[in-house]
Structure 1
């Protein structure tokens, strides 16, 4: 079975007025991964309305969001173990993911999309609302029978990064 996960981070919104492309992505995903910095409980609730949400809090989240979410989280789809952490207090997220037995770590904080295969592969989807040095972006992670792949896309669906064997 193949699972398609929306991966996002650093939405930094006070209201749940998400960009249209992100709303569509949330609605089309099998699950949502958010690596923190929702900012408010209203935004967290919007992501938690549909598909299963796997999320952590970030450094800019309100106390209500921090109280509702862990600092790091591990979950699994189709044989792929994923560790999610915001990254602001984690000098080596790949080490932390390896410690948790993860195949992939999803992180945020920098607002810049990236994919790094050193150690445990690390995916940062960038930010759909406050990007740095890149267009507003989010990612797709496809998990299938222990393999994964995907891409980071702009809000205009331009591929910025491709990774992995599945996708």
Structure 2
């Protein structure tokens, strides 16, 4: 089974970016870890009928009534848990690991951080980042493929608005590369 995992879309409209829409059409299951922001956005993702989702802290009260805070389900013998706020760090995932154990899952999908992460230890931790509002990263989703109990995941970088941190970091790298070229030519 091929899943596209995403979170933190923060969309006011129901217009899914084309590159993301193509990925969603090609998968078997869509898992959204919250922060759609609006019912219009939720409906756009749910139109395919293959959406599993939780609400996030930025979702409307209507979405919070419609969606659970936590979700667990099984795919080919693999237990999957979904929450929005699994922890507040992508560098220290201890809280997310404990939450996965508390929920009794093999994979914990969480959002809120807007930065992608796949970490495999005794459980698999997945934060897809954000396809529309990334933080300290490029726009992204995660593709998870589960076959006969085997779990494979990869971060897919999307086109779209890169956060200001990445633009600044890349400008520093470009400046450093130019400086090195100038020193070699001197």
Please indicate the TM-score interval, normalised by the length of the shorter structure. 0.7 to 0.9
Query: Partner residue of 1:165?
Result: none
Contact 2:114 2:135 in 1 (8 A): yes
Give the C-alpha shift of residue 131 in structure 1. Answer: 0.4
Larger RCO (alpha carbons 8 Å, 6+ apart)? 1
Q: Among residues 59, 62, 68, which one is paired with 1:61 in the alignment?
A: 59
Higher strand share: 1
Of the two, which has the highest radius of gyration? 2
Query: Partner residue of 1:93?
Result: 96
Q: Count residues in correspondence.
A: 154
Q: Among residues 133, 141, 146, which one is paired with 1:143 in the alignment?
A: 146
Q: Gapped runs of 5+ residues in structure 2?
A: 89-93, 160-186
Deviations 1:100-130 (A, max 9, x none): 2211101100000012234522111100000
Give the C-alpha shift of residue 94 in structure 1. Answer: 2.1
Query: Partner residue of 1:125?
Result: 128
Query: Partner residue of 1:17?
Result: 15
Q: Among residues 111, 119, 123, which one is paired with 1:116 in the alignment?
A: 119
Residues 45 and 23 (structure 1), Cα distance of their counterparts in 2 relative to 1, 3 Å cut: same
Q: Gapped runs of 5+ residues in structure 1?
A: 157-167
Aligned counterparts of 1:38 and 1:88: Cα–Cα separation in 2: 17
Residues 88 and 143 (structure 1), Cα distance of their counterparts in 2 relative to 1, 3 Å cut: closer
TM-score where L is the length of structure 1? 0.86
CA RMSD of aligned residues (A): 1.6
Contact 1:95 1:119 in 2 (8 A): no
Aligned counterparts of 1:67 and 1:51: Cα–Cα separation in 2: 19
Q: Among residues 80, 93, 107, which one is paired with 1:104 in the alignment?
A: 107
TM-score where L is the length of structure 2? 0.78
Higher helix share: 2
Residue 123 of structure 1 aligns to a residue whose secondary structure is strand
